[in-house]
Structures are given as C-alpha cells and as structure tokens.
Amino acid sequence: MRVLVTGGAGFIGSHIVAALAARGHEPVVLDALLPTAHAVPPARPPFGTAEWITEDVRNPEAVARALRGVHVVCHQAAMVGLGKDIADTPAYVGCNDLGTAHLLAAMAGAGVQDLVLAGSMVVYGEGRYDCPRHGRVTPGPRAVADLDAGRFEPRCPRCGADLVPGLVDEDAPLDPRNVYAATKLAQEHLAASWARATGGRAVALRYHNVYGPGMPRDTPYAGVASFFRSALARGRAPQVFEDGAQRRDFVHVRDVAEANVLALESVRDRPDGALRAYNTGSDTPHTIADLATALATAHGGPAPEITGAYRLGDVRHITATSGRLRAELGWRPEVGFAEGVAEFAHAVQREGVPAAAAP
C-alpha cells in the first residue's frame, strides 16, 4: 500500500513512516521542514528507502504530485503545542487548517478517498468531571483570579463542590480552550465535510500526551515531556507548573505509530462519507509531577521544582478511555509508563528550535 505521510519527517510522523516500512508498505514523505519543527533539517530520510518530497502541504501543485499512485493519506503535518502567545494564531491556522483544506481539495481532485488524521485530546478542553451531588458536570474556563491564588482545581458550576476527574470517551462534548485546540477541531470538521462531499472515509486519532525518542528540545512548540527532558539535558531542574497534580495520559510514540498503521490498513472498511474518531492513549493516568519525577530519577538530574506558575490556555485534567480503538481496531499499547520514561530519559532529541521561529 502506497501511503502519503504529511509531516513524515517530524517526531510522530517519522515513527509512523518507520512502522509502515516495517510492515511492507510504501511510505511517501511530504514535509516542509519548517523551522518550528526542524532547526537543522535532516539531510536525508532517517528511515530506509521512503520517498522524500520537501514541500509544504499548502502548495496545491506539490500535493497533487505527491498524491500520484497513493492509496491512503496519513496527515500528520501540523504546528503543535501552545506556542508562545496569541501572536502565533495566524501560523497555527495557516499550518493546521489551511494546510488541511489544501490537502483535502487535492485528495478530491486525485480521487484518493481514505484519510487518517492526527487529531488531539485538546478538542475536549477539560476532561470528565463528576460532582458528588450533581453528577456529571462541565466546569467553565478557570478564572485568572483563582489561578493567581493557587486554586487550580475546577469546582462544580452549580454548588462549588470539589469535582472527581474521570476518563472521557469520544462522545464527550468538544470544547477547545486555546488556539491550537481550535485548529485541531477545525481539522476534524474539515475532514468530515470532505468525507460527506466526496464519499471518502476518514479516521481521526485523538492523541493524548505523546512522548518518546525524537522529540524536539528547547522549543515552545512541543509537549510537556519535551520541556522536562530539555531541562534535564541542560542540567537544570524540570519546572512543573501549578502544583503538579494535573492528570494526563502519556502514550509512547511507538504505540501511536502502531495505531496509525492499524487505522491506515483498515480505513477503507469504514462507512463511506463519514469520519470516525478514536482516543489514542494508555488509559493509565499520571500526574505532571509523576512524569517530571520519573524522568529526573531515570536521567540522574536535578529533582523537579513545583513553581505554581500557570498558562492560561492549559486545562487541569484530561485523560481518556481508548476502549473504542481497542475494540474496533484491536490496538493495545505495548510500552508501559516506567519503561517508556526510562528510555526517553536517555533518548536522542532533535536539535533545539529558536523560540522566534515561525512559518
């Protein structure tokens, strides 16, 4: 099967390309090598004989050429992370939403009907919460005054009681709370519209906190695992925001790559004209402090520092159940938290990306 992997030179994309090649498929890499992801562009693909096309997904002619002979598209190209501030908005919308629009239009023109999209858990906003008195509730955005005062936990919007966090499923309300999250939800809506209009088939894998070898270092365009590992590489203590009790689901990049391969191999069996979303996580929540402590211990570096600082675009708790992905595609994560973090503590990272870099 010939598979176009957009963003195939990136952190997750390169692992997907390697997994596809190992399974006997023919990956084609389309990657613009933007400075937000590649401070030092690779001279050649680090994964076997994959075809490499250095072009932007926003270039319609380049995408049309890349789609020749392709059976299915794996769309990983995106700007990720919270970035620096609201000034990044045009870059996020341009890369993520305009780029997806160009890709989908080219797929329609080429008659390519199968798509696997890199989604994200950020589309949910806050995760699931239950109030002892009122049951399932949806807290609103956290107030700056509460965050400044160190009151990080959301409370019941009806009675103010402490809430119990739980696991979200794919039918949970979608409530993106930062620019990156808004663009990831827009990507899903665009893909669903494309599927309805063309009779195509689409799968969105809503990644949780992906970590592992090949993460970029020293960049605002990455996840918390990269921030902590970058600090340790410089001999500094990981800086943990809030009180460190934020719950996340950390899933290893090789497991995410396997989920993509399974989705790519089965997307043609999905109903025509529809998008199906799957949470992609370990189903085993850990706190941010858990991750920082485990990484620091395995690396032999300074212990984490709990700073009490916060980022307004962050949510408090977001963990998922990946039961749908397990039941329908037979996926099982193979890399446990302790094993994966111990490996990542000494794994090679990509070169640092200048904070001022933007596409």
Beta bridge partners of 115: 73, 202
The answer to whether the beta carbons of residues 40 and 354 sit under 8 Å apart is no
Catalytic position from the list 124, 180, 221, 278: 180
To the query of whether residue 180 is one of the catalytic residues in this protein, the response is yes
The answer to whether the beta carbons of residues 67 and 104 sit under 8 Å apart is no
Separation of alpha carbons 324 and 259, rounded Å: 12
Spatial CA neighbour of 259 closest among 284, 272, 278, 235: 278
Strand ranges for the chain from DSSP E: 2-6, 26-30, 51-53, 72-75, 114-120, 128-131, 135-137, 164-168, 201-207, 209-211, 239-240, 247-248, 250-252, 274-280, 286-287, 305-306, 319-320
What 3-state class would DSSP assign to 219? coil
The answer to whether the beta carbons of residues 3 and 70 sit under 8 Å apart is yes
Beta strands at 247-248 and 286-287: parallel, antiparallel or unpaired: antiparallel
Spatial CA neighbour of 237 closest among 227, 250, 247: 227
Separation of alpha carbons 95 and 216, rounded Å: 18
Separation of alpha carbons 198 and 215, rounded Å: 36
Separation of alpha carbons 158 and 137, rounded Å: 9
Q: Which residues are catalytic?
A: 180
